[in-house]
Amino acid sequence: MLSYTEENYLKTIYHLSEGGHKSVLTNEIAASLLTKAATVTDMIKKLSLKEFITYEKYYGVNVTKKGKAHALTIVRKHRLWETFLVEKLGFAWDEVHDVAEQLEHINSSLLIEKLDAFLDYPTADPHGHPIPDKHGKIKQEKQIVLKEALVNKPLVVCAVRNGSSPFLQYLSKIGVSIGVSITVRERIEFDGSLEVSIQNKKPQLISREAAENILVKE
């Protein structure tokens, strides 16, 4: 059994490792969790003792199979709760993350299975992020970053990379949400900004930063 804090460390390490594919350094974890490196060192010793990660002094940590499995249950809970908040309670997509940060630590497998059924087994959360199934399996569809999209090819918004409130609110304002159609009309080489048409409406400019944080599919 992991504590609330240990779960947060494990989830953060899992995300920073990009799903277990690369090792993660002490300072990255500290920056991500707004703690100090010394605190992280203590915690990673604990997590490696419990075999959720492996740890080589001075060279960072890697998530073990056991660690990845547990991290996935936390991600699953986080995303199911976010889906519940939007679909059933009427939250906006920029209001759910902080509440889900708390709800993801509720410990009841019956609860999470019933919630999953109640939501009709969703495969993506309100930000388009995939929801692992009860076995930890993720259904990943292929998606590309809007910034790299071909000009004049009609695409559909399928996820955001950055889930911060200001960004999500900005997207809502310009009419972007999951499932909306979007076509790049012109790429401005000077600053990387794009002229895009959303739902076939009058083209508008979006910044390079925005275009790097919108994921689309055909």
Distance from CA of residue 122 to its chain's centroid?
Answer: 15
**Smallest distance from the beta carbon of 16 to DNA, in angstroms?**
12
120 binds a copy of itself (CB under 8 A): no
Residue 151 interface partner, choices Mn ion, DNA, a copy of itself, none, CB cut-off 5-8 Å depending on type? none
Task: Provide the total of helices (H) and of strands (E) in the chain, helices listed first.
Answer: 8, 8
62 binds Mn ion (CB under 5 A): no
Give the footprint of Mn ion on residues 91-150 (CB under 5 A). Answer: 97, 101
8 binds Mn ion (CB under 5 A): yes
Residue 39 interface partner, choices Mn ion, DNA, a copy of itself, none, CB cut-off 5-8 Å depending on type? DNA
Residue 46 interface partner, choices DNA, a copy of itself, Mn ion, none, CB cut-off 5-8 Å depending on type? DNA
Report the interface residues with DNA, using CB under 7 A.
Answer: 3-6, 25-27, 34-46, 55, 57-60
**Number of neighbours of residue 134 by Cβ within 10 angstroms:** 13
Give the footprint of a copy of itself on residues 77-96 (CB under 8 A). Answer: 85, 88-91, 95
Contact indicator for 38, 18 with CB cutoff of 8 Å: no
Q: Report the C-alpha gap between 122 and 21 in whole angstroms.
A: 25
Distance between the two ends of the chain, CA-based, in angstroms? Answer: 42
* Tokens coding 143: 């998606």
